[in-house]
Chain A
Amino acid sequence: MQTILSVSELSKTYDSRFQALKRINLDIRRGEIFALLGPNGAGKTTLISIICGIVKASEGSVRVDGHDIVADYRAARAMIGLVPQELTTDAFESVWATVSFSRGLFGKPANPAHIEKVLRDLSLWEKKDNKIITLSGGMKRRLLIAKALSHEPEILFLDEPTAGVDVNLRRDMWQLVRSLQASGVTIILTTHYIDEAEEMADRIGVISKGELILVDDKAELMRKLGKKQMTLQLQTPLPLLPPALAAYQLELASDGNELIYTFDAQGERTGIVALLEDLNDAGIVFKDLHTTQSSLEDIFVSLMKEAK
């Protein structure tokens, strides 16, 4: 697939001598939704800020559709829309004026029809003449998205787009992101909500302490790192585990009514057949069983533990 954004050997050391990014290499594919996951202070915003021209890189380079972000900043930046993490807006401007301003700033001639469409898509049309200060937090977030979309960018950065947004609005936001993707926009978002990445992303990157520790297709990631669990509902509760089954590292749950077996879905052998035979030999009878797969959240938590 075609690369639209290419980050190579990018490092950032702030004036405070703090190294926020360490030799990041990352290629974003045209048209994908890429989720950047990482704990607070990992360097997500720093990475986005460098790509967008707000922070200077210490080393390395970034190309946007072949345009270097320093040497050829006009072409590079014209392609990018940015929705920042912080809700930074002018208080006294009207919604319409501020969105139109953004379009002009990015070098596009006025186009009221496009601005209207963007505002309608974000349910801000009714508010178009309101002063920004009168908007709620969620509306301001959408306003920042409208500003970023005002100049028809090909790449959209969303730095924690759903922070402080209620559940319904979050679903609307996801919907919007999908429809943007359908219209050909490449989307890079950061989030703390892992279900959000799980729900939307095509690929996921995990960043921790300034290092990109993993980049993979979401499905691949879940397949590779996902653990499966099998839960057996017992006929009669078991007070404790028979020593004969120690090798399986089983857990007893629900006051001895459930046995939980965790196995690696990718392993050569899952051990299920052997377990069932051994259970039979031990005279343990179960009435039901089901398996579950670990969520991205579990994967993420275990990755973070490893990184520490």
Chain B
Amino acid sequence: MNWHAMRAIYLFEMARTRRTLLQSVISPVISTSLYFVVFGAAIGSRIDEIEGISYGAFIVPGLIMLSLLTQSVANASFGIYFPKFTGTIYELLSAPVSYIEIAAAYVGAAASKSIILGLIILATAGLFVPLQVAHPVWMLLFLVLTAVTFSLFGFIIGIWADNFEKLQLVPLLIITPLTFLGGSFYSINMLPPVWQTITLFNPVVYLVSGFRWSFYDAADVGVGISLAMTLLFLAVFLAVVAWIFKTGYRLKS
């Protein structure tokens, strides 16, 4: 293993975050606070408790998931897309590093960022609603697994994208809608039966549900299923990354 290289890439990516602190940390915090003001305080005060949890508290896991997914994808896709765009990728391709090391470093950095961000949002939420975490270890497990899984997804998008539009397309057209429709802001039990069934095809449901279970011990689907689905996504994305690297897809002409 070329540990020096992985460390160099990881630190480089983390330094990029530090330079863009405003964009990468402060803006999600502000938008989360806005969600709390709008959904938690203004609208939430008119909504009954869901499964015995106040609405403001109920949406905390969903909000963290929302940021976790979008930020993981955004960070990882940008991280690998940018060197392709500027041409500095020549150095990465000519270095004695394996593709696995490259992917691990980029994905590791993107996941680290979104995990930190998730924890910051959790702390921010604590300012608005009383927090309670029933299963802290599971909570962290879901946090880390989701961050890694969707950073991998972002990495794939970053390699696939050959312009900035495509880079924005997937987060905008897929991640955001799926998250909003994935029970971030409601329990799927509140939906009419047909929609409950349809919703089960939305992968984000399992992520949000499992994560919410780790907070409140209440879930839309069983926690085992949530974990299995998360691992399934991880496996699928790993397979895609392996294929990309085997074929040099969009990396080498």
A residues near B (Cβ < 8 Å) are 14-15, 52-56, 73-78, 80, 82, 84, 86, 88-93, 97, 100-109, 147
Contact = CB atoms under 8 A, between A and B. Distances in A.
B7 A104 contact: yes
28 contacts: A15-B253, A52-B90, A53-B94, A54-B90, A56-B253, A73-B96, A74-B96, A77-B94, A77-B95, A77-B96, A80-B94, A82-B90, A82-B94, A88-B90, A89-B86, A90-B88, A92-B19, A93-B12, A93-B15, A97-B15, A100-B8, A104-B7, A105-B8, A105-B9, A106-B4, A107-B2, A107-B4, A107-B95
B50 interface: no
B91 A147 contact: yes
B91 A102 contact: yes
Contacts of A101: 8, 12
Interface string B223-253: 0000000000000000000000000100011
Given A54-B90, A88-B86, A105-B8, 19 more contacts: A52-B90, A52-B93, A54-B94, A56-B248, A56-B253, A74-B2, A77-B96, A84-B90, A88-B87, A89-B88, A91-B86, A97-B15, A101-B8, A104-B4, A104-B5, A105-B9, A105-B95, A106-B96, A147-B91
A106 B91 CA distance: 9
Contacts of B98: 74
B91 A105 contact: yes
A91 B82 CA distance: 11
Contacts of B88: 88-90
Interface of B: 2, 4-5, 7-9, 12, 15, 19, 86-88, 90-98, 248, 252-253
B126 to A, nearest CB: 34
Given A90-B88, A97-B15, A101-B12, A54 B5 contact: no
Contacts, number: 78
A53 B19 CA distance: 31
Contacts of A106: 4-5, 95-96
Nearest to B247: A56
Given A54-B90, A78-B96, A101-B12, A107 B5 contact: yes
Contacts of A88: 86-88, 90
Given A74-B2, A104-B8, A106-B5, A53 B253 contact: no
B250 to A, nearest CB: 11
Nearest to A97: B15
B83 to A, nearest CB: 8
Contacts of B4: 103-109
Nearest to B83: A90
B37 to A, nearest CB: 34
Nearest to A56: B252
A20 B166 CA distance: 30
